[in-house]
Structure 1
Amino acid sequence: MRQQVLYLWADGSSLDSTAIGWAFHDGADGAGPLLPEPAQPGAAPYRSGVDALRDGWMLLQSAQLIAPAPDQEHLNAYLDYEFVFERRVEVEVPATEWV
């Protein structure tokens, strides 16, 4: 088994909020299922976290809801609403990799 990890950053704290950023890490080196083609070039592969769940991804971590400090509400920082998903895929490993 190999693990694929998908990070989705959303515009809100709910899993059905619109995805605005993403990252994909493929421990299966392309031997597992690929991400769906986005509707527009450069867009996230899923419109929301719920769409990722419907495609078989399992939620590992949900966004932490942390209120901004007073007078810090409009400062730019990292993307707040991060959701981490994983799926495990069965891959054929050539015997030479075990040596």
Structure 2
Amino acid sequence: MSKTRQQILILHLADSCLESDTVAWALYDGAKAKNELQMNTGDSKVPLYPSVLDAMRDGWNVIQLPALPLYRTGAEHELGHLPYEYVLERKVTVL
């Protein structure tokens, strides 16, 4: 009997365009067994997908778009979180 499980992919892009370059990423795989390791920071120097659009073409569904940042005058270059975070998901079949 097969079941479906959810995978969550978080991609941080260089800007708000869905075709812009991925600069950071994380994958949470609900299809992996409990004792299998999830992806960790630094596991790969190459992103899973070069852009959100490439992930969509491979079957990922976008479930969250980033709120565009509001930069205050004089604070444009302050450090903080990565502002262009997209959350994607897909269902996979496990046996």
Give the TM-score normalised by the residue count of structure 1: 0.78
Judging by fraction of residues, say which structure has more strand: 2
Map of 1:19 onto structure 2: 22
Task: Give unpaired runs (5+ residues) of structure 1.
Answer: 31-40, 93-99
- 2:89 is matched with which residue? 86
Distance in 2 of aligned mates of 1:5 and 1:53? 13
Question: Structure 2: which 5+ runs fail to align?
Answer: 34-43
Q: Give the equivalent residue in structure 1 for 2:54.
A: 51
Q: How many residues align?
A: 82
With 79-88 and 61-70 compared, the bigger mean Cα shift is at 61-70
* Matched position secondary structure for 1:51: helix
2:36 matched residue in structure 1? none
What residue identity is the alignment partner of 1:3? Q
Query: TM-score scaled by structure 2?
Result: 0.81
